[in-house]
Amino acid sequence: MRTRTDRRKWVDALNGYLFISPWLIIFLIFSLISLGYAVYLSFTEYNLLRPPRWWGLEGYRRVLEDELFISKALPNTFKYVLIVVPIQTFLSLVLAFAMDQNLRFQRFFRTIFYLPSVTSSVVISLIFIWIFAPQGIFNQITGLTVNWLDDPRTAFYVIMGMNIFTTSGTLMLIFLAGLQDIPLAVYEAAEIDGANGLQKFFYITVPMLRPVIFFVVTVGVIGCFQVFDQIFVMTNGGPLDSTTTITYLIYKWAFRDTRIQMGQASALAVILTLIILAVTLLQRRVIEGSGSGAER
Amino acid sequence: MNRMIKFLLILTVLALGLSACGQTATQQPTPQPQTIRETVTVKETVVVPAEKVTVRLSGWASSPAETALLESLLYKFSVENPDILVKYEPITGDYKQVLLTSIASGTEPDIFYVDIFWWLELAANDALLPLDDLMAASGVSRSDFIPALIDAFTYEGKTYGIPKDFNTLGMFYNKDLFDKAGLAYPTDDWTWNDLREAAAKLTDLSDPNKPIYGFCTPPDPGRFPVFVFQDGGTVMNSDFTDTTLDSEAAVKAAEFYTSFRANQIGAMPSDLGEGWQGTLFGKGQCAMVYEGGWLIPYLRDQFPNTKYGVVMPPAGPGGEGNLIFTVAWGISANTKNAEAAWKVVNFLTSEASQKAVLESGFALPSRQALQNSDYLKNNPNSAAIFNGSFYGARPFFWGAVGSDVNDQMAKALERIFKENQPVPEAMKQAAEAIRKAMR
């Protein structure tokens, strides 16, 4: 009897693994193994042409002494996260709240807001290049003569605006799902107590959405730390390094420079991972910590 | 929270479903191409039953016409050499990235393009085969090629690539705008002063929607060094161990180059909303630009009504100066069929093949013998760019930190243009950043 159930369990487990094997194999080959290899490479000097040579922490030292990293890529990346994440989170929450009311053409608006998220980021980048060209639509409507993407003072903000525009739709959907999880009874109780719309939003909706907010902020922060394709397409890190971020610097060292520095680029990739990990843990403490305080 | 997880699960399932749909959509090629491929392979096995050596050949695919030209040359080769099968594997996208990763994984093609700008990194790391012995065995001499080109692919006395073609910069001028301003067309004898005077007269900003500038000055490391050379300066010292961008000659050249925009008789292409000055030249918004032979087919296709001529860039206080852009065929150091690969390279750079390249109008031939060809006699525009290689021209190559040198040159110009940084300070900053990168 006993062996039979054991066998049963085995078969079940095997079936389970069989079902997830397509994902598992791809994950192992393209994520886990390459991730491990990148960590190994970060301790080596490697130019792709000769086998990697072990040099310990030299790559990390070079990254931390690199002027482009210290004075441009690092502050730019944090600036990007600090501006984009709050705006896109707030905007998508408001959008979701509006979509949750019984508006006319609700489905139509949902589709419109979600549309940028399903469009390829390269295509959106190209559209934004044309919109913000010196003779583009934006300048023609506003009557300005700013060369948005070629001016070190404005280029980064255009990219930020574009990212907010594209990601808010997805985040709105997640918030929308969260909103529908909030029991109506709570709102009804609040109404009986005489709460107005604003109070309901801030004292019921926002606290009840805390786990969803945590999820949205975390996903947003990770995505923002890794911003790359828009910069690659729109500005190539320029003008004057004003849009160079950590991921763009990794790409530059790993592939674009005449002297390939794969080891140093890998070291920076590891550093970026550690930064993201630290920030995410910190966030969890802040959001969940304040949450338990409020509930008491 | 539970429902939340459920919802996320549904989302991922949906996303998977969506991506699956996307894949089926892309995996629906019509069956026709497959049948064509099959017939080709059948033909080949019938024609040549003997044992074949296969060599793989890669390059970037810059235009369909250029690819067609290469394919026609390879077809001729296959007729003459039935024992060698050449597999042409063009690389689209980032060529250098694909090539380097294929070398890292030991799967690189036997023959591939190497660009003047980064080939040395390959040679210095033993990824390229020295070609001297193979050249000698088949009677090819270094002196068959334009000296500046073959020297550019020489490292420690060995030849690592056979230049397949090249370009220099010529000064393209818009004939209609010159006529409108009542100016005589430029000649090869022009100097910096003539350039400045003409730019001032050609500039016409009366139409705010279509301003016309005399001369376009992009913050481009592929244009600016010409002025440094013409001022008697260099970008790097002779063994590429130091930069000379903060020398007096280079600073003066930068002052001259940036003076056009400062005096509103020149502009950056981005001022006019374009990424490339070639487009602005075609549109008639830049009366004079320094560009290579690649602009000729572009104008023919995109702006057939623009009347233009090409002369050599006007000389500066230090005489003539120009940049050479060139690409060579290199052979992998790990190839198993070096002799077959060399046969292919030798065929592609032979006088007959080079003549076909020249007559197609894409680029200029690397063989000296073609200097007196009828094509160049009948096409003064191409001839101006060909002859540029003999007058003060230096290869577009700055050593191991070349990309840093390029970046810093571009940034120095951008700082001068956009942030009004004083020229000597900008050049000093650039030079110091390059020295830092060298360490």
Residue A221 lies in a domain: yes
d(CA B98, CA B111): 14
Q: What CATH number does the domain containing A99 carry?
A: 1.10.3720.10
d(CA B131, CA B296): 33
Does the ipTM exceed 0.85?
no
Number of domains in chain A: 2
Residue B439 forms contact with A (CB below 8 Å): no
d(CA B232, CA B248): 10
Quick one: average pLDDT of B403-416? 93
Q: What is the pLDDT of residue B274?
A: 84
Shortest CA distance to B375 belongs to which of B426, B365, A244? B365
Which tokens sit at A137?
Answer: 């639509």
Cβ neighbours of A215 in B, within 8 Å = 4
Q: Which of A258, A264, A288 to mutate to test the interface with B (most CBs of B within 10 A)?
A: A258
Q: What is the pLDDT of residue B423?
A: 95
- B273: nearest CB among A133, A173, A239: A133
For B134-172, what is each residue's pLDDT tens digit?
Answer: 999 999 999 999 888 898 899 999 999 999 989 999 999
Which tokens sit at A5?
Answer: 């159930």
For A92-151, what is each residue's pLDDT tens digit?
Answer: 998 888 888 777 888 888 888 888 888 888 899 999 999 998 888 998 899 888 888 888
State whether B4 and A67 contact (CB < 8 Å). Answer: no
Residue A265 lies in a domain: yes
* A152 lies in the same domain as A25: no
Extended beta strands in B66-160, E state: 84-88, 111-115, 154-155, 158-159
Quick one: average pLDDT of B114-141? 92
Q: What is the pLDDT of residue B39?
A: 46
Residue A48 lies in a domain: no
Directed axis angle between helix B64-80 and helix B351-360, to 10°? 160
**pLDDT for residue A295 is more than 50:** no
- A255: nearest CB among B4, B11, B94: B94
* A16 lies in the same domain as A121: no
- A134: nearest CB among B4, B273, B400: B273
* A238 lies in the same domain as A171: yes
Q: What is the pLDDT of residue B438?
A: 86
Residue A193 lies in a domain: yes
The model's pTM: 0.80
Cβ neighbours of B101 in A, within 8 Å = 48
Which tokens sit at A70?
Answer: 């210290």
* A255 lies in the same domain as A146: yes
State whether B100 and A257 contact (CB < 8 Å). Answer: no
Which tokens sit at B148?
Answer: 């500046």
Q: Residue B269: left if φ>0, alpha if ψ -120 to 50, beta else—which one?
A: alpha
The strand pair at B53-58 and A53-54 is best described as unpaired
Domain containing A112: what range? 60-295
Cβ neighbours of B403 in A, within 8 Å = 256-259
**pLDDT for residue B21 is more than 80:** no
3-class secondary-structure state, position A154:
coil
Residue A210 lies in a domain: yes
* A156 lies in the same domain as A13: no
User: What is the gyration radius of the CA atoms in chain A, in angstroms?
Assistant: 24
Which tokens sit at A264?
Answer: 């140093």
> Which residue's entry shows tokens 């990990």?
A277
For B248-302, what is each residue's pLDDT tens digit?
Answer: 999 999 999 999 999 999 999 988 888 899 999 999 999 999 999 889 888 988 9
3-class secondary-structure state, position B266:
strand
* A131 lies in the same domain as A16: no
Residue A118 lies in a domain: yes
d(CA A236, CA B136): 45
Shortest CA distance to A215 belongs to which of A283, A278, A165? A283
CA distance A213 to chain B (A): 12
For B381-401, what is each residue's pLDDT tens digit?
Answer: 888 988 888 888 999 999 888
CB atoms within 10 A of CB A15: 9
On whether the CB atoms of residues A231 and A243 are closer than 8 A, the answer is yes
Q: What is the pLDDT of residue B32?
A: 46
Spell out the CATH class of B48-168+325-381: alpha beta
State whether B419 and A152 contact (CB < 8 Å). Answer: yes
Cβ neighbours of A259 in B, within 8 Å = 121, 400-401, 403
Q: Which range among B22-36, B351-365, B411-425 shows the weakest confidence by mean pLDDT?
A: B22-36
pLDDT band at B29 (very low <50, low <70, confident <90, very high): very low
Q: What is the pLDDT of residue A2?
A: 59
- B103: nearest CB among A48, A240, A256: A48
* A35 lies in the same domain as A66: no
Quick one: average pLDDT of A59-80? 93
* A110 lies in the same domain as A196: yes
d(CA B335, CA B53): 12
What φ, ψ does residue B370 adopt, rounded to 5°? -85, 5
* A194 lies in the same domain as A247: yes
Distances from the Cα of B99 to the Cα of A49, B91, B105, B272, B403, angstroms? 10, 8, 10, 36, 17
Q: Per CATH, the architecture of B174-321+399-438 is what?
A: 3-Layer(aba) Sandwich (3.40)
Residue A223 lies in a domain: yes
Interface of B with A in 244-303 (CB under 8 A): 268, 270-273
Interface of B with A in 9-28 (CB under 8 A): 11
* A37 lies in the same domain as A182: no
DSSP state of B184: P
State whether B100 and A260 contact (CB < 8 Å). Answer: yes
Residue B43 forms contact with A (CB below 8 Å): no
Shortest CA distance to B218 belongs to which of A144, A67, A238? A238
Q: Which of B18, B112, B270, B417 to mutate to test the interface with A (most CBs of A within 10 A)?
A: B270
Quick one: average pLDDT of B221-247? 94
* A32 lies in the same domain as A98: no
Cβ neighbours of B418 in A, within 8 Å = 150-152, 239-240
Residue A215 lies in a domain: yes
Which tokens sit at B362?
Answer: 């894409």
Type of residue numbered A191:
E
What φ, ψ does residue B114 adopt, rounded to 5°? -125, 130
* A221 lies in the same domain as A274: yes
Nearest residue in chain B measured CA to CA from A170: B11
DSSP string, B297-327: HHHHHH-TT--EEEEPPPBBTTB--EEEEEE
Quick one: average pLDDT of B339-361? 90
How is chain B split into domains, by residue range?
A: 48-168+325-381, 174-321+399-438
pLDDT band at B92 (very low <50, low <70, confident <90, very high): confident
Which tokens sit at A52?
Answer: 């990697």
